Amino acid sequence: MNRLFNKILIVCGIVVLGACKEDVELPDNLAGFTTAQQGIDGEEATVQISLSRAADVAVPISIQLTPSLVTYDKEFVTEPAAVNNVLNVTVPAGQSGVSFKVKKKANVFLNGDETLTLKMTSVGSPVLTGLNTELKLSFAAITSTGSTLTLEGKTAESPYFNTVYADLSANAATPVARKSWNLGFYQGGQFRVILNPGYQSSATATSKTDIAAVTLADADLVPDLNFSPGGEGTAALADSWDGDLTKTVFAEVSATESQNKVYLVSFEGSKAKDQWFKVKVNRNGEGYKVQFARIGSTTIQTVDIAKNADVNFTFLSLEAGKTVDVEPRKVNWDIAWGYSTSNAGTVPPTPYWFQDFVLLNYTAGAEAAEVLESAVTYDAYAEANIATTTFLKTRDAIGSKWRSTAPGGTTGIRKDRFYVVKDPLGNVYKVKFVSMGLGADGGERGRPVIEYKLVKKK
């Protein structure tokens, strides 16, 4: 009887203790614009709203538009459309942000002093409005004196769904689905083709120049494109992570069509040989003529790509069979965060698929330098320090150096360094990483936060 009574007491005690145990309450989930000021240098701007964290339900947000010296649907529109100067957007369930566009109307002349104030007026439960609920958008380029940006790479599908292009001078961040393209075609003087470094891309040349003559049997005559990172000889199957256009898998496109080989291209999700694409690129005047198909297909698609000096590359989706918008105008971004090809750190150097890689817009002339806090602190770095700063002009000038996941070492952002970025227009900013969701930085993986300040205006 006593044993039974003791058991009852124990069970009751457990129940009481469990009842007394309180659930840990999360802080309020807040919505806000990612910056308080932004400019349009070109025809459109992408405006981002960010939540503190992803919500379990869809979150509707209403935004009041207050134009100054412009009128909706006369000088500008939004995408999605606004009604009576009220714009409604929705953060999808499971996601931590949403973006929309403000576009200038075609054939409209603006003086440059026109502005649009955007103010959040309501946010759906369980999210609340945060501190940064108002944004002033200028219909001209601005030169920001500094801000913070959350780079929204994460979606419900993946923490690395987007590549995010940041324009420091405009306080703008543009997220683009990293798997939306396969090949990029250089718009400068050379005729160069790049692989998508954020899509685990690999390629190799065949011995043939006639795309119709390439069949599935040719896949057995070339190196396996489904290689493991770090394998010997695999560097030849991926573009160089430093962005050097002379070190791409595709050779420069010759003006003589018979000299241009057919290439086999693979990427994440198409590693099986029968899923590879065959691609033949020729010149088409001052542009490109691209022929492509799945390796076993006899139906060849053709896309003509004209050159456009306003951008670094024009991008083609082999899967969709058309060109797609990816990078902003070449003067409208400085760095990009995302998933990319990096160096595995082996000898000889070999490609490795890397998370949290920061690319530099080296093609448009951007430069970057790493500065250790032991030499000069972020707060102290000023215009006088620029002359003694060694800048790099490579795609991986920042790359993976800003954070660490090494076992036994410091995990997360390396707080002992920051970066100095000279944008394509010549403005100089100092940049530091604030959080990324590793270690104890309090951030969220796939949504890194950067802080930057203007050091020298062009």
Cα 62 from Cα 53, distance rounded (Å): 19
pLDDT of residue 408: 61
pLDDT of residue 123: 97
* Backbone phi and psi for residue 14, each to the nearest 5 degrees, phi listed first: -65, -45
pLDDT of residue 234: 87
Catalogue all structural domains in the chain, each as residue range(s) with its CATH number. 30-140 (2.60.40.2030), 183-324 (no CATH), 335-456 (no CATH)
pLDDT of residue 426: 97
- Show the beta-strand stretches assigned E in 241-382: 262-266, 277-284, 287-294, 301-305, 313-317, 322-324, 335-343, 351-360, 367-372
CA torsion angle 46 52 54 60 (round to 10) = -60
**The 193-195 sheet, strands edge to edge:** 193-195, 183-186, 313-317, 322-324
The H or E element that residue 117 is part of is: strand 115-123
Asked if 329 and 361 count as a contact pair (C-beta separation under 8 A), the reply is: no
pLDDT less than 50: residues of the chain: 1-21
Cα 283 from Cα 195, distance rounded (Å): 18
* Residue pLDDT, tens place only, 414-436: 999 999 999 999 999 999 999 99
Cα 249 from Cα 374, distance rounded (Å): 40
Note the Cα 160 to chain centre separation in Å. 9
Q: Which amino acid is at 307?
A: K
pLDDT of residue 343: 86
**Other Cβ atoms within 10 Å of 121 Cβ, number:** 11
pLDDT of residue 407: 66
